[in-house]
Amino acid sequence: MNPKLQWLRNKMNSLDMQGIIISNPINIRYLTNIEAEGTLLLTRKENIYITDGRYIEHVHSILTLFDEIIVYDINDVSKDDYENFFMFCENVGFEEHYVTYAMYKEYMHKYKINNLVETEYIIEKQRMIKDEEEMHNITKACNITDDCFKYILKYIKPGMTEKQIAKEIEDYYNKYADGISFETIVASGENTSKPHAVPTNRKIQNEDIITIDMGCKVNGYCSDMTRTFFVGKILEEVKPIYDLVLKNQIQTLKDYKDGMSTRLVSKMVENDFRLHNYDLIHSLGHGVGLEIHEPPYISYKNDTLLKENMVVTDEPGIYVPGKFGVRIEDTVQITKFGCINLTNSEKNYIVI
Amino acid sequence: MNPKLQWLRNKMNSLDMQGIIISNPINIRYLTNIEAEGTLLLTRKENIYITDGRYIEHVHSILTLFDEIIVYDINDVSKDDYENFFMFCENVGFEEHYVTYAMYKEYMHKYKINNLVETEYIIEKQRMIKDEEEMHNITKACNITDDCFKYILKYIKPGMTEKQIAKEIEDYYNKYADGISFETIVASGENTSKPHAVPTNRKIQNEDIITIDMGCKVNGYCSDMTRTFFVGKILEEVKPIYDLVLKNQIQTLKDYKDGMSTRLVSKMVENDFRLHNYDLIHSLGHGVGLEIHEPPYISYKNDTLLKENMVVTDEPGIYVPGKFGVRIEDTVQITKFGCINLTNSEKNYIVI
């Protein structure tokens, strides 16, 4: 059996779970490499993937005998089959954070399960810790992002629109990686005051401030990096805020290590911002992997301890409504004694 | 109050619902034009939108006084506020097909609601019927799709890759519309046998068969069209299948009208395919609007009656594993006495 499914079976044993229904396609991708619409069942004895006609060919081309997964076409699964899958299973797990209330009720009826039990993100928690192959893919995505940023700094000229720059980044990622990992943010001038700005037709001007938040995918794994930089010259009013954000971004890099609390590290940045009369209005960071945003979420709302081989972002930002904003973000790998920057683009005042 | 919110309040009255929690961002977009992360609450007296710091500016820029929506920053909402929102509400609706089991439990606790009741797609059902403005946007998206297809037929030359063609379509849509409504499918040769093919680096050859499934967005509203066509000459072995698919696609256009059952119309195509020893392995069609796939779903599994001003696709397809596939799809508007084709590209044997 493939090692990730084997891990899950051991985990289920330890939780007294005799079966599990995996519905989240990202978790299915993680466990099996299958990218399709379907449901993965681990029953007492079998691993079963139920999909439909559109995906059967693709699924067979991905799986090997070694995976030990039986593939069903959903149209061939009878009412009795459903009721038999989990027969004699006392507890069957489901993903309560993915499955809708309506699906939950449907599962109960269809599979005739007595105890459909919450699994509290067991797979997501395992996904937080990256193995060697996953690290390889993420590192590659981060390297391509550094290269793309170097390229784009040379590409940008006053008169170009935000949309045009975003498109150039996307084209770069389509050429050198497996495309973007999220919609690229290119914000200029007062648009930088919106943390989630969508590229507009605003043209880059002299003495503009620009924020670019960008990332790509390699074999399904993501990168994520943000830089704020300047056209022609650095605006005096931005400097103190830029310095404050950068200082905290670098301090966080020093604080990130195995054993650090996500709440504590966020609180420290929040506190320093408040001392300067600013707020941290979004999370300090988040996990990166098959999803661009995944656990652990690094904010005061969430208390997780960072662990070796987690991959997370470090992205403090300050936004002055209607004026400008500054965000600086790296993707990093947590180690026993600190963290390793996976994105390595310049971040001291960049002027193009 | 805006007319869509007013409609919802009337609907709630008729269902004896004193409050409702709207969580699905597409439904929130439909009701308010807001595109952000947040939750819309209709309480006894107020319309409330709860979002976070990232979106406050954007939300205020979208809403007018006329909307009568009070905007809260989630960080300013206290435990007591949550408990007061639905005080004295007997029944509060929630979207059981969007809300996860975990969110459902959280809502119960946070809002202290006794009767959190299922709303059975009330908003989605309303969204099926398009008003004039919605029709205008969809029609525009369909016109741009026809133009793009005309353009792309001239653009394609042997030696180009599927990816390159998909990118050209995307660029076209970025230029003339608000981008793609779903990942464009460009499949050539044996790749056409996969209904959900992802564009590859396969190069177009002479005597190839090509399937393109494409659509764009205009003001949030989608278009969807598929054509299967040929390079240089039509393959003899494809002809009978092409003819069978086209015959059923045209017959379906004749059958689509106010009052037609989605199950019946699918069954008729399925039946004709079976008589020729083929299967219809996916739905015959689906609704199109703010989402590329939305109700009504046109398949034997679902029995809805088509109604005036629904917008749906008509897309039969036949796939011969490892060899080739044919799919032909239009987006159409249902009327009292028939349907109007919104996509009007050629579909008799197209040879480039």
**What is the CA angle A331-A226-A336, rounded to 5?**
20
The predicted pLDDT at position B186 comes to 97
The predicted pLDDT at position A67 comes to 87
The predicted pLDDT at position B2 comes to 87
The predicted pLDDT at position A225 comes to 98
Residue A121, token pair as written in the block: 């993100």
Whether A196 has its CB under 8 Å from any CB of chain B: the answer is yes
Q: What is the mean pLDDT of residues B203-216?
A: 97
The predicted pLDDT at position A149 comes to 98
In sequence order, the β-bridge partners of residue B180 are B216
pLDDT of B142 above 90: yes
pLDDT tens readout for residues B306-323: 999 999 999 999 999 999
Whether A174 has its CB under 8 Å from any CB of chain B: the answer is yes
pLDDT class for B324, splitting at 50, 70, 90? very high
Residue B154, token pair as written in the block: 């001239």
Instruction: Report d(CA B139, CA B133) in Å as an integer.
Output: 10
Q: What is the mean pLDDT of residues A301-329?
A: 96
Q: Are strands B209-214 and B185-188 parallel, antiparallel or unpaired?
A: antiparallel
pLDDT class for A347, splitting at 50, 70, 90? very high
Q: Of chain B residues 314-333, which have a CB less than 8 A from chain A?
A: 321-322
pLDDT of B54 above 90: no
Q: Of chain B residues 35-64, which have a CB less than 8 A from chain A?
A: 52-55, 57-58
Helix (H) or strand (E) holding B196: none
pLDDT tens readout for residues A62-74: 998 888 999 999 9
pLDDT tens readout for residues B248-259: 999 999 999 999
Question: What DSSP string runs through B243-262?
Answer: HHHHHHHHHHHHH-STT-BH
pLDDT class for B92, splitting at 50, 70, 90? very high
Does residue A44 contact residue A23 with C-beta atoms inside 8 Å?
A: no
The predicted pLDDT at position B160 comes to 97
The predicted pLDDT at position B333 comes to 98
pLDDT tens readout for residues B253-287: 999 999 999 999 999 999 999 999 999 999 999 99
Q: Which residues of B141-179 are buried (b: 16+ CB within 10 A; e: fewer)?
A: bbbbbbebbeebbeebeeeebbbbbbbbbbebbbebbbe
The predicted pLDDT at position A114 comes to 85
pLDDT class for A2, splitting at 50, 70, 90? confident
The predicted pLDDT at position B227 comes to 98
Q: What is the mean pLDDT of residues A223-233?
A: 97
- Please state which architecture CATH assigns to domain B132-341: Alpha-Beta Complex (3.90)
Residue B142, token pair as written in the block: 């369909």
Look-up: residue for tokens 């030990």? A68
The predicted pLDDT at position B215 comes to 98
pLDDT of B1 above 90: no
The predicted pLDDT at position A66 comes to 85
pLDDT tens readout for residues A231-242: 999 999 999 999
DSSP symbol at B187: E
pLDDT of B196 above 90: no
Whether B141 has its CB under 8 Å from any CB of chain A: the answer is no
Residues of chain B with CATH 3.40.350.10: 3-126
pLDDT tens readout for residues A32-45: 999 999 999 999 98
Residue B97, token pair as written in the block: 């097909």
3-state secondary structure of B6: helix
Question: What DSSP string runs through B218-236?
Answer: ETTEE--EEEEEESSS--T
User: Which residues in chain A are closer than 8 Å to B282, comparing Cβ atoms?
Assistant: 52-54
CB contact under 8 A, B102 and A102: no
- Rounded to a whole number of angstroms, the distance from the CA of B305 to the nearest CA of chain A is 23
Instruction: Report d(CA B317, CA B330) in Å as an integer.
Output: 12
pLDDT of B65 above 90: no
Whether B104 has its CB under 8 Å from any CB of chain A: the answer is yes
Residues of chain B with CATH 3.90.230.10: 132-341
Average pLDDT, chain A: 95
State ipTM.
Answer: 0.78
Instruction: Report d(CA B344, CA B290) in Å as an integer.
Output: 21
The fold adopted by the segment(s) B3-126 is Creatine Amidinohydrolase; Chain A, domain 1 (3.40.350)
- For residue B320, the chain A residue with the least C-alpha distance is A57
For A121, phi then psi, to 5°, come to: 60, 35
Sign of the torsion angle spanned by Cα atoms B129, B133, B139, B142? negative
CB contact under 8 A, B195 and A99: no
CATH class of this structure's domain A3-127: alpha beta
Instruction: Report d(CA B47, CA B55) in Å as an integer.
Output: 18
